[in-house]
């Protein structure tokens, strides 16, 4: 009878250990080597013939993480694994999901094609930048939701929250939280001159005296979130926090957060934390993914994991 084998790539080795511990099974042994020019070599050091393999790897930068995952998938298929399930806590390149100007690539679709072509049987991921990216895959996609992690955190704050979308594109995500908590929703409408640079922003809704929680799927340079927090404070918000699933935290993100009106930013470990910083609280997705893996392997519905 086939059994579950869990393996983690180098990008999410620590999260892989946590998922394996929560699942109750040790991580399997996979050998990752590099040639002197940096070329990656992958080999499983144990038999996985006929097994249900789960490969855990976020495709965050550098691009070597994506290449490493592709090689792991290929090695598992060539080692005769029955199913190669790919656990991608953070799906990189998701922001490039459409042609928003002439002559650009749709990288999210390309990455989906590569994962399928490499031999993946299924993808399990969390909080895609756009939910419709699931349709880029021709294999099953289990799309988990960060609200499962953040709802208990929000409840322990013991506040009456008002949820805010940091931009128009995040309204549906913020509305889901507002609906669950039966709370008010406001929108921060931003205009960009170029990527990662906000030109202007205005608030749609009343935040006077409110405890506001900004909701987003990722926090990169933190420019949008911090600008929104400062404006919400200016509009009379009592406090401003943020919840962002994927902590990319590039450029001056840490300094931006430290110098902003944000009281706290809650993130998850879908991307390895870059350190222990004041104002940043890291919540783990390990239990959620472990439960999803168990249900998928037992041929059970994962709908019970959703709030």
Confidence of residue 59 (pLDDT cuts 50, 70, 90): very high
241 and 291 in a single domain? The answer is no
Residue 39 is labelled as binding a ligand: yes
Q: Could you give the CA distance from residue 87 to residue 169 in angstroms, rounded to a whole number?
A: 26
The secondary structure element, H or E, covering residue 287 is: helix 286-297
Per-residue model confidence as pLDDT tens digits over 128-172? 999 999 999 999 999 999 999 999 999 999 999 999 999 888 899
pTM of the full structure: 0.93
Q: Which ranges constitute the DSSP H helices of 37-93? A: 64-78
Burial 135-145 (b: 16+ CB within 10 A, else e): ebbeeebbbbb
Per-residue model confidence as pLDDT tens digits over 193-203? 565 555 567 88
Q: What is the CATH number of the domain that holds 37?
A: 3.40.50.2020
**Per the residue annotation, which of 18, 190, 193, 235 is the catalytic one?**
190
19 and 94 in a single domain? The answer is yes
Query: Is 109 one of the annotated active-site residues of the chain?
Result: no
Residue 189 is labelled as binding a ligand: no
Residue 211 is labelled as binding a ligand: no
Residue 210 is labelled as binding a ligand: no
Q: Is the pLDDT of residue 72 over 90?
A: yes
CB atoms within 10 A of CB 183: 18
Residue 119 is labelled as binding a ligand: no
Number of domains observed in the structure of the chain: 2
228 and 165 in a single domain? The answer is yes
138 and 260 in a single domain? The answer is no
């Amino acid at each position: 009878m086939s059994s579950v084998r869990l393996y983690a790539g180098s990008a999410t080795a620590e999260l892989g250990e946590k998922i394996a511990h929560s699942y109750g099974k040790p991580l399997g042994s996979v050998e990752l080597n590099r040639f002197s020019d940096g070329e990656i070599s992958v080999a499983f050091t144990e038999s996985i013939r006929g097994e249900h393999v789960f490969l855990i790897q976020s495709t965050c930068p550098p691009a070597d993480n994506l290449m490493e995952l592709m090689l792991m998938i290929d090695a598992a298929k060539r080692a005769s694994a029955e199913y190669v399930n790919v656990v991608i806590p953070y799906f990189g390149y998701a922001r490039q999901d459409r042609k928003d100007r002439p002559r650009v690539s749709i990288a999210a679709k390309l990455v989906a094609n590569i994962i399928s072509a490499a031999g993946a049987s299924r993808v399990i991921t969390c909080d895609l930048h756009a939910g419709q990216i699931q349709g880029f895959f021709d294999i099953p996609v289990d799309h988990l939701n960060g609200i499962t992690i953040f709802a208990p955190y929000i409840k322990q704050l013991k506040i009456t929250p008002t949820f805010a979308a940091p931009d128009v594109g995040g309204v549906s995500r913020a509305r889901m939280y507002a609906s669950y908590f039966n709370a008010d929703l406001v929108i921060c409408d931003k205009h960009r001159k170029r990527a990662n640079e906000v030109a202007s922003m205005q608030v749609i809704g009343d935040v006077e005296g409110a405890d506001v929680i900004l909701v987003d799927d990722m926090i990169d340079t933190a420019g949008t979130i911090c600008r929104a927090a400062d404006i919400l404070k200016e509009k009379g918000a009592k406090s401003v926090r943020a919840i962002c699933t994927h902590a990319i935290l590039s450029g001056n993100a840490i300094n931006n957060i430290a110098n902003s009106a944000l009281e706290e930013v809650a993130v998850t470990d879908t991307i390895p934390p870059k350190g222990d910083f004041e104002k940043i609280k890291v919540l783990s997705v390990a239990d959620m993914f472990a439960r999803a893996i168990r249900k998928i392997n037992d041929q059970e519905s994962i709908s019970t994991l959703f709030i």
